[in-house]
Amino acid sequence: MGWESNVRRVIPYTPGEQPQQSGIIKLNTNENPYPPSPAVIQTLREFDSASLRLYPDPEAKILVNALAETYGVKSSQVFVGVGSDDVLSIAFMTFFNGNKPVLFPDVTYSFYDVWAEVHRIPYRVVPLTEDFRINADDYRQVNGGIIFPNPNAPTGVMETLALIEEVIKANPDSVVIIDEAYIDFGGMSCLSLLPKYDNLLVVQTFSKSRSLAGMRIGFAIGSEKLIQYMNDVKFSVNSYTMTNLSCLCGAAALRDADYFRTTVQKIIVTREAAKQRLTELGFTFPDSYSNFIFASHPDKEASLLFEELKKRKIYVRYWNKPRIDQSLRITIGTPEQMEALYAALAEILKK
Ligand code: PMP
C-alpha cells in the first residue's frame, strides 16, 4: 500500500500478561500484592461522580502539591503523568532531542529502546558488568542523555548514591534520568542530589510501593527548569492526562504514610525470606533491593520453569533475550503466594 510508506513503524513494548481468569498467582508484573490504602478506598467512595462532566484540572494541582509536600520540594519541581511510563515517554521527547546517542544499560527496562525508536532518538546500549553492575566510567563518553533504573530492572541490583553522583557529575551537558520505580523497597533515592544538579530528573511511580498500578500515576521531580520544559511538551500533546479521581486517590495514598511504610516493610520481609527459600531450592540471583528477584537455576532452563509454573497457574516473567534468558523475574507476593511458588518449584525441580 502506498500510504504504508508514511506509517511510523515500531516494534512495540510487550507488557507482562494480565490474565483475566481467576485463581492465578500473579508474580509477573511487579504489582503490589496488598490493596491500596483504606484512605484511597474512602476517596473512591466519596468521589462526586457528577463532577465527571467537567474536564479535570490540567495542572493536577491536588496531586502535584501533595507530592511536593511529601518530598520536600516546590510544586514547580513536580511533574505528574499517567504512570511513570507516560512521564518517561515525555521525558525522552523533551530531553533527548539531540543528535548524540542516549545511553542506557544493555540489561534494563525494555521500554527504553522502544521510546527511543518511537521518538526517533539515537541511542547506544552500554553493557553492564558480568554481575549486572553499572561501571560509571562507561558513561564518560559522548552522549545526548542518560537513563537507567535504580534499582535496575529486571535484575533488582542497586547502585550507590556515590556512583550515581559520579555519572551526573561527569555529564553536565546531558539530562540524567534515574528511574526509581522500585526505590521504596530498600534503595537510597537520589532525590537528595537534586539541589546540586539541575540536569537530574528522578522518576517514581505509585504502581508498586503504593499499590495503585491500576490508577496509573507516575511522577518526576527535578529542577524547575526541567519540569517547565516537560510541561511545555505535555501541554503540546494532551493537557488533560490526569483525572481528578486519580489525583485525589494519589493524594490520599501519600497522606497515609503509615500504611505505605507497613506494606512496603511486609514486602521487604517476604523478599528476604524468598532469598533464603530460593537459595535452598538451588537458585542464584543478584541481591535484590526491589519487589522482585531475578533468579536462575543451574539444572533447569528458565523457559521450562516459566512454562511449568504457568501450567500450575503461577505467572512469573521470562524474556528470551541475550544475557537474561536463563532467569525468571519473580515478583514478591504475599507469604501465602510465595509458599505456593516454592512448593511448585520444588515439585518441578524434582522431575
Ligand atoms: N520503570 C520501570 C523500571 C518499570 O519496571 C516500570 C514498570 N513496568 C515502569 C517504569 C512503569 O511503571 P508505571 O507506568 O506503572 O509507573
For residue 308, give the CATH number of its domain.
3.90.1150.10
Q: In angstroms, how far is the first alpha carbon of the chain from the final one?
A: 52
Hey, what's the torsion of the CAs at 54, 59, 60, 61, to 10 degrees? -120
List the Cα angle 42/44/48 in 5-degree steps.
115
Q: What is the pLDDT of residues 181-231, one digit of tens each?
A: 999 999 899 999 999 999 999 999 999 999 999 999 999 999 999 999 999
Q: What is the pLDDT of residues 88-139, one digit of tens each?
A: 999 999 999 999 999 999 999 999 999 999 999 999 999 999 999 999 999 9
C-alpha cell at 174: 546531558
Say if residue 273 is in the same domain as residue 323: yes
Rounded (to 5) percent helix, strand, coil in the chain: 45, 15, 40
Say if residue 67 is in the same domain as residue 112: yes
Say if residue 31 is in the same domain as residue 114: no
DSSP 8-state code for residue 309: H
Say if residue 24 is in the same domain as residue 159: no
| pTM over 0.75, yes/no | yes
- The total number of structural domains in the chain stands at 2
**Residue 299 pLDDT greater than 80, yes or no:** yes
Please state, in angstroms and rounded to a whole number, the distance separating the CA atoms of residues 49 and 245. Answer: 9
CA 182 to centroid of ligand 1, rounded, Å? 9
Say if residue 88 is in the same domain as residue 232: yes
CA 131 to centroid of ligand 1, rounded, Å? 23
Say if residue 247 is in the same domain as residue 175: yes
List all residues whose CB is within 6 A of at least one atom of ligand 1.
Answer: 83-85, 109, 149, 153, 179, 181, 205, 207, 213, 218
CA 126 to centroid of ligand 1, rounded, Å? 20
Say if residue 153 is in the same domain as residue 247: yes
Q: Tell whether 268 is covered by a domain.
A: yes
Of 256, 285, 304, at which residue does a domain stop? 256
Residue 245 CB-density burial (10 A; 0-12 exposed, 13-18 middle, 19+ buried): middle
Say if residue 263 is in the same domain as residue 245: no
Q: What are the beta bridge partners of residue 127?
A: none
Give residue 335's domain range.
2-36+258-350
